[in-house]
Amino acid sequence: MSIQTRTIPAETIERAKKGDLFAFEEIVAEFEKPLWNYLVRLSGSRDDAEDLIQDTFVKVYKHIKTIDPSKNIKSWIYTIATNTAYDYLRKKKREALVELDDEHETNGDSVSYNSIAIEENMESKDVAAAIERLDALYKGPILLYYKDGFSYEEIAQMLSIPINTLKTRLSRAKKQLATLLVNYQ
């Protein structure tokens, strides 16, 4: 189930582009809650999501003048949020790797993932826990597609990747999820 937002009128976007803070506040009010939920799921932390949403809206404010009002503002804002989160998670991972000397080896067991119905089980605690453990590269596409209901085209555009790369990432995410779920049970 995805959280639906109303459409932001083009004139509101135009007013925000001209520096109207009330128009910008309308945009923030419209996207703050669903974006925060997405960032909590992506980062795995409410505290990180708070920082990420602030960083996202600062970037939106700085770059609002570049958006074409005829384009999908929701995709544009989610693109900024996703890229901000990926940058943050990469930095956090690098810092963690510096602190840890241990290397983790992955289990090479082959698991069939065709039987996992991700969309039907998105609310399952086991699936949610497995998604939290996915690599960041795969977590975003899975959440955007199955939880937030974006199309392949929208997600590919948000992540600035070809659709086939997106499909590959979704496929690998499903394989990782299957492995995590089998190991979890």
User: What is the C-alpha separation between 5 and 174, in angstroms, rounded?
Assistant: 27
* 36-to-15, 111, 140, 163, 179 alpha-carbon distances in Å: 24, 33, 14, 26, 28
pTM score, whole prediction: 0.61
What values do phi and psi take at 95, rounded to 5? -65, -40
pLDDT of residue 78: 93
Residue 17, SS3 per DSSP: helix
Which amino acid does the sequence have at 162?
Answer: P
7-104: which CATH architecture?
A: Orthogonal Bundle (1.10)
Rounded to whole angstroms, the maximal C-alpha distance in the chain is: 56
Residue 22, SS3 per DSSP: helix
106-185: which CATH architecture?
A: Orthogonal Bundle (1.10)
pLDDT of residue 99: 43
Q: What is the pLDDT along the chain (185 residues), one digit of tens a residue?
A: 344 456 788 899 999 999 999 999 999 999 999 999 999 988 888 999 999 999 999 999 999 999 876 778 999 999 999 999 988 887 776 655 444 333 333 333 433 343 345 544 555 677 778 888 888 888 889 888 888 888 899 899 888 899 999 999 998 888 888 887 776 55
Domain boundaries, the chain: 7-104, 106-185
The DSSP letter of residue 112 is: -
User: What is the C-alpha separation between 97 and 91, in angstroms, rounded?
Assistant: 10
pLDDT of residue 81: 94
Which amino acid does the sequence have at 125?
Answer: K
Which residues neighbour 157 within 8 Å (Cβ) at sequence distance 6 or greater?
Answer: 75, 79
Which amino acid does the sequence have at 3?
Answer: I
Which residues neighbour 69 within 8 Å (Cβ) at sequence distance 6 or greater?
Answer: 10, 13, 14, 17
